[in-house]
Structure 1
Amino acid sequence: MTTLRFTESNPAPDIAADGHVETPDGFSVRYARFRADANPVKGTVVILQGRNEFIEKYFETISDILDAGFDVVAFDWRGQGGSQRFFRRIDSGYVDSFEQYAIDLDTVFEQIVLPDCRPPYFILGHSSGALAALYTAPAYVNRIRRMVLSSPFLGLPASDFKHGATRAVTKMMGFLGLGNLYVYGGSAARLRKPFEINPLTSDSDRYARNTSVLAEHPELAIGGPSASWVSAAFRAIDVVSDPEHMARTTTPTLVLMAGAESVVSNAAIETLTTRLRSASLLTIDGARHELMQEADIYREQFMAALLAFIPGSGAEPGLPAAGSSD
């Protein structure tokens, strides 16, 4: 029996397998694996979703990647989507540390990607998923050929004072045992904004599609970020911004930035990309935060950049060539 949720407005690609894997620290993480018809296949793309996202939201993008000749693996981070939550009654976006996300990714890689998916391997990360990709990148230098990062969460689009105040307040809330409380946004129901004021996409049809999935399957939704989650994100940003960590992040990386961004800090993205020797930056002018959910005029630019950057030349040392059956 499948773990995925289907709606009429969100057609699913063919599913090779889905279910749950258990992490070493006891969390049940939902995954889905999709297999391309191409022969030979170009490799496998592992999707690292953003906060408050879920596998079903990526069905359209997964279909496009399959059509381009890649296999795909997607999964829900612990605490969101169809994976195990931290609390029974609270739907706040919660995590203690990005080390827990690192455990989720390693579990999926060891139990699903390596035994069942065709190399070479690529990462496609969005927002906080892109931050998780950068956080774990040094550990995957010999496994991941290339990374594509969409609107990475590397800071808030706020003044230095507000940024610093948010960091201090969320850290103090955790110290006082209040880490599971919302920082902003509130419950999942309160988080659903009318299309006209949403900061995520200018495409009304895709916005309605994603909203309808959650309306029919509210169990997939979570509310605003908790103090603990925000504090963990700040600590992860400190790690990926550290010169020693960046020196060990050598995987070729394409960063795509939304020109009309209002959810994450474009200035922080530009700063880190400039300092990270393995990365290059492309701005999609006029686009909002969710590039894969945007209007065609922006989304097509994103997909073209993604598929031009992978699978790469095969020149990366220590990695199998595209189309390899090893």
Structure 2
Amino acid sequence: MLLFSTKDNPVPEGAVCGGFHAPDGVLLRFARWRPAGACRGTVCVFPGRTEKIEKYFETVEDLRRRGFAVAVLDWRGQGGSQRLLKNPMKGHVRDFADYQLDLQSFVREVVMPDCPPPYFGLAHSMGAAILLDAAREGHRWFDRMFLVAPMLDLSLLKHDVAARRTARALSGIGLSDFYVPRGKRIRTSEIHFDGNRLTSDPKRFARNLTITMEHPQLDVGPPTIGWIKAAFDLMDRLTDPATAQVIRQPLLMVAGGADAIVSTPAIEHLGSRLIAGAHLVIPGARHEILQERDLFREPLLAAFDAFIPGSAVR
């Protein structure tokens, strides 16, 4: 398995890239790096839906400068990992429990054998929700977790209850593999910075779009009905009042004040009730805070430095 560069997004030096199989046979791609100097532990990075390892090269360099080794996973069905349907552009999963297989296998096959402890988790959106679900189930893969814009609920739905009922009904009659209604793929040439809901940084937006244009095999399109049904099931578990009481994992959730993708109020609600966790909101930041302007990105990294022990920048 390979990593892919673009002019403005080269592969960080010293990369080790490979693949491993989850227990159900799905082939997953990973990459890992060591810092240039003394190592203070390993930060495991877990992207959100549609994202790929290449999108986090800048973050990899940020973490290595802080003295950390870094390991990044491509979830099943996206990036360089195995796709789950005949149409590789469909963002699909049967159940979010399958992502738990990816997480457990990644820790056991990649992190523990080849990455120096202690271990920390850094995750975005869907990846953050998967890590929260693992903590809800009592798994303690990491000393601390730093969760950026975790997907606890969605902001972009106008009719939330109806969407949940529709997804479950359509999935129940065998339409799980179909795109969500109006979920056809948008051509890369039709994607523009103006009006995007992900970042206010035109340079990072263009950089990420170039990855998709030059390496379309890493891209994935809209979700299937099955994926959105599974996501609703996960979000219902995470927003259940009992969830805050059972999570004992030390964690910090960071939300964007202008996030139009996931619900910032849902993050604040859970964060205020966690026993071993906390939350903060960066005013004005959109959903992809790690891909945002430095105005928003620097407070995020400052929060990381304050929360994660051993950061060389502290």
TM-score by length of 2: 0.94
1:175 corresponding residue in structure 2:
172
Deviations 1:164-214 (A, max 9, x none): 111111111111111122224421526963100100000000000000011
SS state at 2:187 partner: helix
- Once the two structures are TM-superposed, the CA of residue 226 in structure 1 deviates from its matched residue by 1.2
**Residues 1:5 and 2:4 are matched in the alignment:** yes
- Once the two structures are TM-superposed, the CA of residue 95 in structure 1 deviates from its matched residue by 0.6
Q: Structure 2 CA distance, aligned partners of 1:79 and 1:126?
A: 17
Q: CA separation of 1:188/1:132 partners in 2, compared to 1, >3 Å: closer, same or farther?
A: farther
- Give unpaired runs (5+ residues) of structure 2: none
Q: CA separation of 1:240/1:305 partners in 2, compared to 1, >3 Å: closer, same or farther?
A: same
The question of whether the paired residues in 1 share the 8 Å contact of 2:156 and 2:261 is answered with no
Q: Structure 1 CA distance, aligned partners of 2:56 and 2:15?
A: 16
Deviations 1:198-251 (A, max 9, x none): 000000000000000110000111111111111111111222234544333211
**Residues 1:23 and 2:17 are matched in the alignment:** no
- Once the two structures are TM-superposed, the CA of residue 91 in structure 1 deviates from its matched residue by 1.2
From 297, 300, 314, give the equivalent of 2:298: 300
Residues 222-301 of structure 1 correspond to what in structure 2 (within 5 A)?
Answer: 222-301=220-299
SS state at 1:195 partner: coil
Residues 1-326 of structure 1 correspond to what in structure 2 (within 5 A)?
Answer: 3-39=2-38, 41-138=39-136, 141-157=139-155, 162-183=159-180, 184-187=182-185, 189=187, 193-311=191-309
1:318 corresponding residue in structure 2:
none
- Give unpaired runs (5+ residues) of structure 1: 314-321
* Cα root mean square deviation, aligned: 2.0
Deviations 1:298-325 (A, max 9, x none): 1111111112210279xxxxxxxx9xxx
SS state at 1:29 partner: strand
Q: Structure 1 CA distance, aligned partners of 2:178 and 2:152?
A: 22
- Once the two structures are TM-superposed, the CA of residue 81 in structure 1 deviates from its matched residue by 0.6
Q: Structure 2 CA distance, aligned partners of 1:294 and 1:192?
A: 21
The question of whether the paired residues in 2 share the 8 Å contact of 1:94 and 1:228 is answered with yes
Q: Structure 2 CA distance, aligned partners of 1:42 and 1:290?
A: 26
SS state at 1:196 partner: coil
- Once the two structures are TM-superposed, the CA of residue 272 in structure 1 deviates from its matched residue by 1.4
Q: CA separation of 1:142/1:77 partners in 2, compared to 1, >3 Å: closer, same or farther?
A: closer
Counterpart code for 2:270: L
- Once the two structures are TM-superposed, the CA of residue 141 in structure 1 deviates from its matched residue by 4.7
TM-score by length of 1: 0.90
Q: CA separation of 1:202/1:252 partners in 2, compared to 1, >3 Å: closer, same or farther?
A: same
The question of whether the paired residues in 2 share the 8 Å contact of 1:251 and 1:278 is answered with yes
Q: Structure 2 CA distance, aligned partners of 1:26 and 1:202?
A: 39
Q: Structure 2 CA distance, aligned partners of 1:220 and 1:156?
A: 25
Which is further off, 56-65 or 189-198? Answer: 189-198
The question of whether the paired residues in 2 share the 8 Å contact of 1:185 and 1:191 is answered with no
Q: Structure 1 CA distance, aligned partners of 2:128 and 2:159?
A: 23
- Once the two structures are TM-superposed, the CA of residue 260 in structure 1 deviates from its matched residue by 0.8
Counterpart code for 2:177: N
The question of whether the paired residues in 1 share the 8 Å contact of 2:3 and 2:11 is answered with no
Q: Structure 2 CA distance, aligned partners of 1:95 and 1:225?
A: 9
1:317 corresponding residue in structure 2:
none
Identity in percent: 42
Q: Matched residue pairs, number?
A: 311
- Once the two structures are TM-superposed, the CA of residue 108 in structure 1 deviates from its matched residue by 0.7
Counterpart code for 1:32: A
SS state at 1:37 partner: coil
The question of whether the paired residues in 2 share the 8 Å contact of 1:292 and 1:299 is answered with yes
Counterpart code for 1:251: Q
